[in-house]
DNA sequence: CTGAAAGCGCTAACAT
DNA sequence: ATGTTAGCGCTTTCAG
């Protein structure tokens, strides 16, 4: 099933087939001919061979998304779906590279193997990786270290958490950090928002503790917060929040009366934790389509870098605060 | 940086470059020449262009994994990593297609766009989708409806759950099904294992209830189980298990004294639920490498279909049973 | 043992 | 407005 077959079947030349199937602008092809070609193509079940197209055009229509193994929950899924759909609308195809350590190495190899034109990450790629990626054939890599922050700025979520606690009357805030080092980058960003919120409210910066997913260890952290008279905890995410909740339970305390905790991400189990977890949710769907637009703009030379896309986190009130 | 550049730099022909870089067997190339080529290639940072290679060879080295949006937890991540690594060892590259509904449609489009030679799913592809995929250029698609079951059989996990409960003295078992319809296929497989275990022990089949991630609704299910004197619940997965736990708490009961619950998957938060969730974990790493071997075997014509790969689930004892 | 030559299926100048 | 032609970078018979 090649383009020539279609040309033959439609009684036109190969070029014409290419023109109409790619909807090449600046060509005035009679609707009559156009229709014949389209009809022949679909009748024959013609699918252009991606490799040939990429080779000839000098660039593929593959967008590679580097997905770190992070528990971002359903939000990230929606983001990916929306991104894929929006990209597809522009003729681009999204595939993902799942890696525990989203460093360089395997990513650039995959990039070369799939002949990706664009590589997208959730957090900025270090300059070293960016160069590696370009060497592997990527035309555009976003986000990069230099030009901007993460795909979407997550300080907002730390800020919303702290603001909520503060509005509820808490004056001494704690921040529960994850213990997994890969999460630290993202955690610091979220923490920053909480720090700012406290500063704006004239409060001390949150007292941080790293939390392990283990009730006994979480209990220790809770105790330390208590001795510093912390009454409200912002957790990096819902997993950590649930661990903190386990910690307060293990120390014989109860949330929210003794200590309030607010999570982030609104994972499915947040609603069924004990007590039900108050958390902040955010919708990444719009980020997905905005990202896609940015990619298209850069690819077409209409833009240099992808803009930062704000998110608007919203607290989901349940009973842990 | 093309193959000709390397040939020029190494003072050999293009053909020779291709031969040594691909380690083509049946050619006796002097180590001297071989070394010169390799050296030149690495010095120039040569990367063969995937599109050109795929076009000429008639097949790419891309393996596409269809990842449904299911909360399979960390296990799946390990599987993907291992699969990717094992595939890479054979010169194949793994990329993922993330889709909420892992039906046909977009999958086959992505397959065509990335020019994948192999498409792998977690659960069997319906015959219709298999054909679509082949039309999109996939040489091998696994698992298919006809030939075998899922990539790894998960009945085992239902069986292990029920066996554990039975060993603890429970005679009336309940099974907590997810309410999301996309999960039903997999849930039924797991349930089947529990049903078998009960049958083998001479017990009635588990009483099933669909569970929503919502304490009040879960409580209703718990009450119904109670009136049927169920004392032990197997949950489809840990999320559902945590919801059941919330249900027993909401009805004023406590686990495990009033009712025991065992989950599946061992998600990170299982350790910090209240009470800590007893669950069954399984290691998919070996499945990953076995799958990769099967793919290579099929691609080389040494095998027809991929074998079913057994998993050995193990219960992680905590305090909900 | 190495090189020359013919495409793989498609795009894009260039010609008609 | 359509067809002709020349590659894209690589693999792979087939000669030398």
What CA–CA distance (Å, rounded) separates A52 from A42? 19
pLDDT at A124: 86
pLDDT at B101: 62
For chain A, give the percent of residues with pLDDT over 70: 94
A208 alpha carbon, distance to own chain's centre: 25
* Residues in CB range of B188: below 8 A, 6 or more apart: none
Distance B216 CA to C6 C1' (A): 72
Gyration radius of chain A's alpha carbons: 25
What CA–CA distance (Å, rounded) separates A120 from A66? 6
Query: Could you tell me which residue, B241 or A38, shows the higher pLDDT?
Result: B241
Strand stretches in chain A, DSSP E:
62-68, 93-99, 118-125, 140-144, 173-178, 207-211, 232-235, 260-264, 278-281, 314-316
Alpha carbon distances (Å) from B255 to B252, B260, B318:
10, 5, 12
Chain A neighbours among B 113-132 (CB < 8 Å)?
113-115
pLDDT at A136: 92
Best A45, A49, A51, A117 member to test B by mutation, with max B CBs in 10 Å, is: A51
Confidence of residue A14 (pLDDT cuts 50, 70, 90): confident
Q: What is the pLDDT of residues B263-294, one digit of tens each?
A: 999 999 999 999 999 999 999 889 999 999 99
Q: Protein footprint on strand D: which nucleotides are under 7 Å from a CB?
A: 1-5, 7-13
Note whether A213 contacts B268, CB cutoff 8 Å.
yes
Q: Find the mean pLDDT for residues B225-233.
A: 98
Confidence of residue A301 (pLDDT cuts 50, 70, 90): confident
Q: Supply A153's token pair.
A: 């700025």
Q: In this model, does residue B85 exceed pLDDT 70?
A: yes
Q: Supply B138's token pair.
A: 């996939």
- Check if B245 contacts A (Cβ < 8 Å): yes
Q: In this model, does residue B92 exceed pLDDT 60?
A: yes
Confidence of residue B33 (pLDDT cuts 50, 70, 90): confident
Chain B neighbours among A 173-212 (CB < 8 Å)?
none
Interface size between A and B, measured as CB pairs under 8 A:
159
φ/ψ of B27, rounded to 5, equals -120, 130
pLDDT at B280: 97
State the DSSP H helix or E strand holding residue B125, giving kind and residue range, or none if neither: strand B118-125
Query: B38: burial class by Cβ within 10 Å (0-12, 13-18, 19+)?
Result: middle
Q: In this model, does residue A64 exceed pLDDT 90?
A: yes
Distance A5 CA to D3 C1' (A): 16
For chain B, report the end-to-end CA distance as a whole number of angstroms: 62
pLDDT at B306: 86
Confidence of residue A122 (pLDDT cuts 50, 70, 90): confident
Q: Protein footprint on strand C: which nucleotides are under 7 Å from a CB?
A: 1-5, 7-13
B110 to chain A, closest Cα gap in Å = 6
Q: In this model, does residue A18 exceed pLDDT 90?
A: no
Mean pLDDT, rounded, of chain B: 91
B237 to chain A, closest Cα gap in Å = 12
**For D9, which residue's CA is nearest its C1'?**
B52
Query: Could you tell me which residue, B71 or B272, shows the higher pLDDT?
Result: B272
pLDDT at A290: 93
Chain B neighbours among A 35-74 (CB < 8 Å)?
45, 47, 49-52, 54-55, 60-62, 64, 67, 69, 71, 74
pLDDT at A185: 83
> By mean pLDDT, which of A36-50, A205-219, B135-149, B193-207 is the weakest?
B135-149
Residues 54-73 of B with CB under 7 A from strand D: 55-57
Q: What is the pLDDT of residues B97-110, one digit of tens each?
A: 988 664 557 899 99
Q: In this model, does residue B72 exceed pLDDT 70?
A: no
Confidence of residue A140 (pLDDT cuts 50, 70, 90): very high
pLDDT at A113: 95
Q: In this model, does residue B173 exceed pLDDT 70?
A: yes
What CA–CA distance (Å, rounded) separates A61 from A55? 11
Distance A135 CA to C14 C1' (A): 33
Q: For B51-83, give the DSSP string.
A: HHHHHHHSS--EEEEEEES---HHHHHHHHHHH
Q: Is the CB of A55 under 7 A from strand D?
A: yes
Q: What is the pLDDT of residues A148-198, one digit of tens each?
A: 667 788 899 999 999 999 999 999 999 999 999 888 888 999 999 999 999
Facing B269 at nearest CB: one of A51, A97, A239: A239
Residue A124 near residue A308, CB atoms below 8 Å: no
Confidence of residue A104 (pLDDT cuts 50, 70, 90): low
**For D13, which residue's CA is nearest its C1'?**
B15
Residue A205 near residue A174, CB atoms below 8 Å: no
Confidence of residue B216 (pLDDT cuts 50, 70, 90): very high
Q: In this model, does residue B112 exceed pLDDT 90?
A: yes
For chain A, report the end-to-end CA distance as a whole number of angstroms: 63
Q: Are strands B207-211 and B173-178 parallel, antiparallel or unpaired?
A: parallel
Q: Find the mean pLDDT for residues A200-218.
A: 97
Confidence of residue A27 (pLDDT cuts 50, 70, 90): low
Distance A35 CA to D10 C1' (A): 35
Confidence of residue B73 (pLDDT cuts 50, 70, 90): low
pLDDT at A214: 94
Q: What is the pLDDT of residues B130-171, one digit of tens each?
A: 999 999 999 999 988 766 667 788 899 999 999 999 999 999
Query: Could you tell me which residue, B284 or A234, shows the higher pLDDT?
Result: A234
Query: Could you tell me which residue, B186 or A198, shows the higher pLDDT?
Result: A198
Q: Which residues of A57-92 are buried (b: 16+ CB within 10 A; e: fewer)?
A: eebbbbbbbbbbbbbbbbbbbbbbbbbbebbbeeeb
Residue B265 near residue B291, CB atoms below 8 Å: no
Identify all chain B residues contacting A269, using CB atoms and an 8 Å cutoff: 213, 239, 242-243, 269
Facing A98 at nearest CB: one of B60, B77, B115: B77
pLDDT at B51: 93
Report the phi/psi class of residue B301: left, alpha or beta, with left for phi > 0 and alpha for psi in -120 to 50. left
Confidence of residue A30 (pLDDT cuts 50, 70, 90): confident
Q: What is the pLDDT of residues B288-314, one digit of tens each?
A: 999 999 999 999 888 888 888 889 999
Q: Supply B21's token pair.
A: 């870089």
């Amino acid at each position: 099933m090649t383009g020539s077959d279609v040309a033959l079947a439609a009684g036109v030349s190969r070029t014409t087939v290419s023109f109409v199937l790619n909807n090449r602008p600046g060509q005035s092809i009679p609707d009559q001919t156009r229709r014949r070609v389209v009809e022949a193509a679909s009748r024959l079940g013609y699918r252009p061979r991606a490799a040939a197209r990429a080779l000839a055009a000098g660039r593929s229509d593959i967008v590679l998304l580097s997905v770190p193994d992070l528990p971002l929950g359903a939000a990230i899924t929606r983001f990916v779906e929306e991104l894929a759909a929006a990209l597809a609308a522009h003729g681009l195809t999204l595939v993902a590279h799942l890696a525990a350590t989203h460093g360089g190495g395997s990513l650039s190899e995959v990039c070369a193997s799939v002949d990706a034109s664009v590589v997208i990450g959730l957090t900025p790629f270090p300059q070293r990786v960016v160069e590696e990626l370009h060497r592997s054939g990527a035309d555009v890599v976003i986000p990069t270290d230099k030009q901007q922050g993460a795909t979407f700025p997550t300080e907002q979520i730390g800020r919303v958490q702290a603001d909520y606690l503060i509005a509820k009357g808490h004056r001494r805030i704690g921040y529960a950090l994850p213990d997994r080092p890969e999460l630290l980058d993202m955690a610091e960003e979220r923490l920053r928002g909480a720090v700012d919120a406290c500063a704006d409210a004239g409060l001390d910066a949150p007292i941080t503790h790293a939390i392990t997913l283990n009730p006994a260890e979480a209990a220790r952290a809770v105790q330390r917060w208590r001795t510093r008279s912390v009454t409200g905890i912002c957790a990096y995410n819902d997993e950590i929040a649930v661990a903190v909740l386990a910690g307060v339970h293990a120390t014989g305390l109860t949330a929210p009366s003794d200590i309030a905790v607010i999570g982030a991400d609104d994972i499915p189990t947040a609603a069924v934790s004990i007590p039900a977890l108050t958390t902040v949710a955010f919708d990444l769907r719009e980020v997905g389509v905005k990202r896609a637009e940015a990619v298209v703009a850069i690819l077409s030379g209409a833009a240099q870098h992808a803009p930062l896309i704000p998110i608007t986190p919203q607290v989901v009130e349940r009973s842990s605060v």
